[in-house]
Structure 1
Amino acid sequence: MANAGLARELEQALGQLLLRRNRSALYDAILDSAPPGVDRQTYSVLSGLARLGPRSAARLADEVGIDRSGASRYADRLEAAGLLERGSDPSDGRATLLALTPKGRAAVAELRNALTRHLAGRIADWPDGQARALIDGIRLLVDPPRD
């Protein structure tokens, strides 16, 4: 395998990126300006709903990598803050869907803008083309071309 060395380096870099402390560092960079109810724990629920759309707590928990009881607790806090609402699932009358409210969508937009500013600062001094190569590489990694 000609790219075994690069693949090993990629594995190590991704491992570092996915460490909780590194995700937390990104969250910390933006959560100072977050609305009440949004913190390290609830951010993953808020952000997950923004990316995935309405979901049951169980399905959202699975997709964002937290346990179901945590997702429900965090949803309670976000609901109390007016950032999400619960509604019935049209495809399953017994299930409840979590969905962002307009206030929740506005909060996500503000937090994403803050993260964009933070990341712009982090890549400002990178050599030409390096940020583009990283973006393109991540996209190829998570959504490989189909034959």
Structure 2
Amino acid sequence: MANTGLARDLAEALGQLLLRRNRSALYDAILESAPTGVDRQTYPVLSGLARLGPQSAARLADEVGIDRSGASRYADRLEAAGLLERGPDPDDGRATLLALTPAGRAAAAGLRDALTRHLAGRIADWPDGQARALVDGIRLLVDTPPE
């Protein structure tokens, strides 16, 4: 079993990472080159659809941690910018799926590249193996089923 002190440190570090101000600082670093329609509010919708594929607004909202009405509003803005389209859900005739357009997929890929460059700069001076240990640890944390 993990050391209790180390687990407490992990809980504190994750809490800091998840603070809105830290997410916002990360967004600010990559959104400078974002296309029209992509900002702090719409980025999680764009990024979520890029990772998850077409989703209903309700499911996407659950997955990215925003309310359903926010997901719909932000989807409207992305749709107006030509980055998202709505279509019928083949599994539920009453539902609508949100999906990225080719321009939306290109925007998401460009922002993912910007994030990669930003993070590469942040970890450039870390001791050997520290960044790999962080990546491996995060993967273990999210891939391990809860007890």
User: Normalising by the residue count of structure 1, what TM-score does the alignment of the two structures yield?
Assistant: 0.97
In terms of mean alpha carbon deviation, does 136-145 or 23-32 score higher? Answer: 136-145
SS of the aligned residue for 1:96 comes to strand
Q: Which residue is 1:17 aligned to?
A: 17
Divergent runs of 4+, >4 A? none
Superposed, which structure 2 residues align to 1:130-141 within 5 Å?
130-141=130-141
Alpha-carbon distance between aligned partners in 2 of 1:2 and 1:137, rounded to the nearest angstrom: 13
SS of the aligned residue for 1:86 comes to strand
Superposed, which structure 2 residues align to 1:20-99 within 5 Å?
20-99=20-99
- How far off is 1:6 after superposition? 0.2
Alpha-carbon distance between aligned partners in 2 of 1:109 and 1:46, rounded to the nearest angstrom: 10
Alpha-carbon distance between aligned partners in 1 of 2:112 and 2:79, rounded to the nearest angstrom: 20
Alpha-carbon distance between aligned partners in 1 of 2:117 and 2:55, rounded to the nearest angstrom: 29
Alpha-carbon distance between aligned partners in 1 of 2:129 and 2:44, rounded to the nearest angstrom: 30
- How far off is 1:71 after superposition? 0.2
Shift in alpha-carbon separation, 1:118–1:52, aligned structure 2, 3 A: same
Structure 2, unaligned runs of 5 or more: none
Structure 1, unaligned runs of 5 or more: none
Alpha-carbon distance between aligned partners in 1 of 2:94 and 2:144, rounded to the nearest angstrom: 37
Q: Which residue is 2:143 aligned to?
A: 143
SS of the aligned residue for 2:34 comes to coil
Q: Which residue is 2:104 aligned to?
A: 104
SS of the aligned residue for 1:94 comes to strand
Alpha-carbon distance between aligned partners in 2 of 1:2 and 1:102, rounded to the nearest angstrom: 45
In terms of mean alpha carbon deviation, does 1-10 or 70-79 score higher? Answer: 1-10
- How far off is 1:2 after superposition? 5.8
RMSD (Å) for aligned C-alpha atoms: 1.3
Name the % identity: 89
Alpha-carbon distance between aligned partners in 2 of 1:130 and 1:9, rounded to the nearest angstrom: 16
SS of the aligned residue for 2:48 comes to helix
